Structure 1
Amino acid sequence: MALSRRQMIQLMFLGGSAAALSACGGGSSSPSLTGGSGNEKPNKPDPISPPDPVPEARELPLEAGPLADIGPLVDSGVDGILIPAGFSLRLVATAGRKPVSHAFGYLWHPLPDGGAVFPVGDGGWVYVSNSEFLPGGVGALRFGADGEIVDAYPILKNTRINCAGGATPWGTWLSCEEIFDGKVYECDPLGTPQQAQSYPALGLFKHEAAAVDMETASVFMTEDEGDGRLYRFVSTGRTSAINGADGLDLANGRLQVLEVSGYENGAYMEDLEAAREIHRVSWVDVQSPDRPQSQVRNDIQNSTGKGAPGTQFKGGEGIWIQFWPEGAQQTVSGYEHPLRAVVFFACKRDNRVYALDVDNDLIEVVFDNAQLEGSGEAGFDDVDNLVVSPAGDVVVAEDGDAMRLMVMVPNQPARILLQVPGGGSELTGPAFTPDGSRLYFSSQRAPSGLTGLMKLGRTYELSVPEAFR
């Protein structure tokens, strides 16, 4: 057992004194240093108590970003959309129309859905957007360094109901098909539809969205089913991506589902109070990864009478990863790793937003409608796409009647970033430019025809003042 500095000094003093007595003729019969007869046993130092254990955190140490300080909403002057004072809004594309005059017949796609922004070497950027239509596909808007649209073009064609997806760290877009045997397609934001590549190894299911963590070689994916799962594809290594960059090998790896401790084999975290606290998780390989996973789950249930592997997440939607650089990583009390990467994902059928600590294998609910009670705001109506700003704001889109973009404040009421009046549509594709100065999004079924009868969607750009980024 380790000794304290004080105890070590005491032992050194006692040992030195005994040696001096021996040199002067003292022995075992000599009086003890404590004034006894010399026959008593010498005093022993007090036993050392083990240090108190570090208490385990009950919540992840998450913090709100600057958008948590936005004020009340005002009319933007564009399609009746409400935004915070000091922000500005413009319409950048309407379904069925040319985004720019020289687009050589290219029309912006119907039912725009998930999207992302990619920087370009000339100081501009590209916003890509899925088409949740049949056929689906992906369209792209290229912006110059001054923010003006300079080009528009497709980067994926002839797919099925492309819902959301995710940007890769190597600069490509993963577009997800939301259909029972849906695939994931990798697209080059600066490329052509012919360059796009499908990756069945990422699973066949109702794909919603995807997010990539290079450090663990993982692609995290949500599934838009009532009994859906959260998936992880662990790649076997690196390879050259379709844009020539060094990326993960998306053709080879293991497909897994997440299980929350105590909620395995299709169980659901019904108790909301319990779900708001940290739970440990593990990953389990899926069965028959080459088959549609909804069918695999049914087969397991029918043949065994038990649920298939994986905790149930009801209607998985948007997903995004927030990273913290070394030196800015918070300690998670009682756990081994600091907070490096957190996967945020939304589930529309219970209106929850979850946070998954990638390195410590921990999960908790960080937002739910009960947290809006007393705030004066109506509860969420189908949470959908999700994005994390460069400044760390978690922004969640909403379907249904209220049609809002909400800023999540961990374990507190959310703030409204904007609202589209009228309902009957979905807010989709929120994505920030790398500097956080612009946020793109779509109203998926906004009026798009000359008569207003065709409701195929519009895409907008929200400018964010510097004070909020």
Structure 2
Amino acid sequence: MALSRRDILQLMFLAGGGAALAACGGGSSSSGGEETPRDPGDGGGTPTPTPEPPAPARELPLRAGPLANIGPLVDSGVDGVLVPEGFALRRVATAGRQPVSKLPLFLWHSLPDGGAVFSQADGGWVYVSNSEFVPGGVGALRFGADGELLDAYPILSNTRINCAGGATPWGTWLSCEEVEDGQVYECDPVGTPRQAQSHPALGRFKHEAAAVDLATSSVFMTEDEGDGRLYRFRSAGRVSAVNGAPGLDLDNGVLQVLEVEGFENGAYMEDLAGARALRRVTWVDVQSPDEPQSRVRARIEESTGQGAPGTRFKGGEGIWIQYWPEGERDTVTGFEHPLRAVVFFACKGDNRVHALDVDNDLIEVVFDNEQLISAGEDAFDDVDNLVVSPMGDVVVAEDGEAMRLMVMVPNQPARILLQVPGGGSELTGPAFTADGSRLYFSSQRGPAGLLGLPLGRTYELTVPAAFRAV
């Protein structure tokens, strides 16, 4: 019988407790030590056991979603892509070509990357997609309530290498530049490039992705550097966003980096077993937040001979937040707050996925290559974009040769949701519709456009109802 990490830790705890009890002679001592307290009402006979406080949680009480139950893959009939039986696939856009015939001047962008879906009042939705190209920018696909592709248009232009980003609770898209002095741009999914706004207060670094927690007025951001950090921007208040909805003030606040207890000032959690254990974190204000952070780190290290603030994360990639509503929040034993919000983020340098408990300031590695290898699966090949489905499934995209979308199952081997043959590309931009019925993604360098150049293809995966039940 396969044991999860939780089972192993529980067995270790019970074994340790038994050894400690034996060493104490079963709770009493014959060497003159203190006697066990007795109940004054029992005539001096049976000792009253002292209840032990519950041991603090050793991992977060995460749960798998319905996609953990998918079966083997079959040919979808579209570009050789493999999907589970009962799922359907269609190609919705090809780089260098017009997605819909009524817009002859708009061509779908090259190298599609991070994306998100935004519901619309008429029952339809918009899928936005970054362009990791020079120039960068963001394109949008407008779908009707029946899934028909109605329109396609740009919402950001004249930027540089827009990698991933993040959707905001107030309905805008944060598009991130992956360059040394990169910025974050806020876009309206149904707006125009002219309406987009940059937010320098979110820091200048190789931005990868972003996730917003409205309850704590926080924007969490990853950095795609080998010595990158995990950032948090604490907003100073609320303002009107680019789409007119009330949102966070992204121009005034404090930029911080995360430090894992025991791994401060540039230290790296080398030991995987130790990284899997729950650890406390703190947040430290960034120095010179208006300067490129890689240069700031180098200057601090040179002038002090010590590492710059922040735990090191190797190549931060996708980031997304999973929420639990009141009444469904599990207790994190030994800590103050029930589980409300967890930030999942991936790092391609060591192929780890981390889970950060926002309210309790706790972190652990929840997925890694050892789990796949021990289960007989091929190891991850550069984990990248990440999304959490409306049903609670954590899905991670993969670059390189294997080219898979993987469903993460907490502390167990992952499941393969789909695979694109051929390798040499990246799976990017996974994003679900609000009802979980459709998942959009791209093969960033799939054959496309003029002469079949590898510029990218964007797809829609239809998820059967049986895999959308929570």
- Which residue number in structure 1 is paired with residue 11 of structure 2? none
Partners of 2:92 and 2:458 within 8 A in 1: yes
Q: CA deviation at 1:99?
A: 0.4
| Distance in 1, Cα, partners of 2:41 & 2:336 | 33
The answer as to 2:462 corresponding to 1:458 is no
Matches for 1:123-272 after TM superposition, within 5 Å: 123-272=123-272
Q: CA deviation at 1:377?
A: 1.4
| Distance in 1, Cα, partners of 2:343 & 2:41 | 51
- Which residue number in structure 1 is paired with residue 334 of structure 2? 334
3-state DSSP class of the match of 1:222?
A: strand
- Which residue number in structure 2 is paired with residue 425 of structure 1? 425
| Distance in 1, Cα, partners of 2:203 & 2:213 | 18
Q: TM-score, normalised by structure 2?
A: 0.89
Q: CA deviation at 1:119?
A: 0.2
Partners of 2:96 and 2:450 within 8 A in 1: no
| Distance in 2, Cα, partners of 1:462 & 1:287 | 44
- Which residue number in structure 2 is paired with residue 110 of structure 1? 110
| Distance in 1, Cα, partners of 2:317 & 2:103 | 32
- The runs of 4+ residues in structure 1 deviating greater than 3 Å are 43-51
1:238-265, Cα deviation, whole Å (9 max, x unpaired): 0111101010000000000000000000
1:360-379, Cα deviation, whole Å (9 max, x unpaired): 00000000000012323100
Of all paired residues, the percent bearing the same amino acid is 79
Q: CA deviation at 1:51?
A: 4.6
1:292-327, Cα deviation, whole Å (9 max, x unpaired): 000000000000010000000000000000000000
| Distance in 2, Cα, partners of 1:113 & 1:44 | 71
Q: CA deviation at 1:195?
A: 0.3
RMSD: 1.3
1:174-228, Cα deviation, whole Å (9 max, x unpaired): 0000000000000000100000000000000000000000000000000000000
| Distance in 2, Cα, partners of 1:81 & 1:354 | 28
| Distance in 1, Cα, partners of 2:239 & 2:341 | 23
1:329-366, Cα deviation, whole Å (9 max, x unpaired): 00001111000000000000100000000000000000
1:430-463, Cα deviation, whole Å (9 max, x unpaired): 00000000000000000113532x1100000000
| Distance in 2, Cα, partners of 1:430 & 1:303 | 42
3-state DSSP class of the match of 1:256?
A: strand
| Distance in 2, Cα, partners of 1:373 & 1:180 | 35
3-state DSSP class of the match of 2:300?
A: helix
Letter in structure 2 aligned against 1:434: A
| Distance in 1, Cα, partners of 2:164 & 2:237 | 25
Q: CA deviation at 1:50?
A: 6.6
- Which residue number in structure 1 is paired with residue 273 of structure 2? 273
3-state DSSP class of the match of 2:141?
A: strand
3-state DSSP class of the match of 1:100?
A: coil
Q: CA deviation at 1:82?
A: 0.3
| Distance in 2, Cα, partners of 1:50 & 1:183 | 57
Q: CA deviation at 1:103?
A: 1.5
Q: CA deviation at 1:44?
A: 6.4
The answer as to 2:382 corresponding to 1:385 is no
- Which residue number in structure 1 is paired with residue 299 of structure 2? 299
| Distance in 2, Cα, partners of 1:168 & 1:58 | 31
Q: Which runs of 5+ in 1 are unaligned?
A: 1-42
Partners of 2:319 and 2:343 within 8 A in 1: yes
**Quick check: 239-248 or 367-376, which moved more?**
367-376
Letter in structure 2 aligned against 1:296: V
| Distance in 2, Cα, partners of 1:137 & 1:158 | 6
Letter in structure 2 aligned against 1:459: T
Matches for 1:312-331 after TM superposition, within 5 Å: 312-331=312-331
Letter in structure 2 aligned against 1:345: F
The total of aligned residue pairs comes to 426
Letter in structure 2 aligned against 1:354: H
The answer as to 2:52 corresponding to 1:69 is no
| Distance in 1, Cα, partners of 2:50 & 2:207 | 50
- Which residue number in structure 1 is paired with residue 34 of structure 2? none
| Distance in 2, Cα, partners of 1:130 & 1:361 | 31
Matches for 1:325-404 after TM superposition, within 5 Å: 325-404=325-404
Q: CA deviation at 1:53?
A: 1.9
| Distance in 2, Cα, partners of 1:173 & 1:195 | 12
3-state DSSP class of the match of 1:153?
A: strand
In our comparison, the structure showing a higher alpha carbon Rg is 1
| Distance in 2, Cα, partners of 1:54 & 1:306 | 39
| Distance in 2, Cα, partners of 1:126 & 1:44 | 72
Q: TM-score, normalised by structure 1?
A: 0.89
Letter in structure 2 aligned against 1:266: G
1:40-61, Cα deviation, whole Å (9 max, x unpaired): xxx9679998752221000100
| Distance in 2, Cα, partners of 1:404 & 1:176 | 24
3-state DSSP class of the match of 1:451?
A: helix
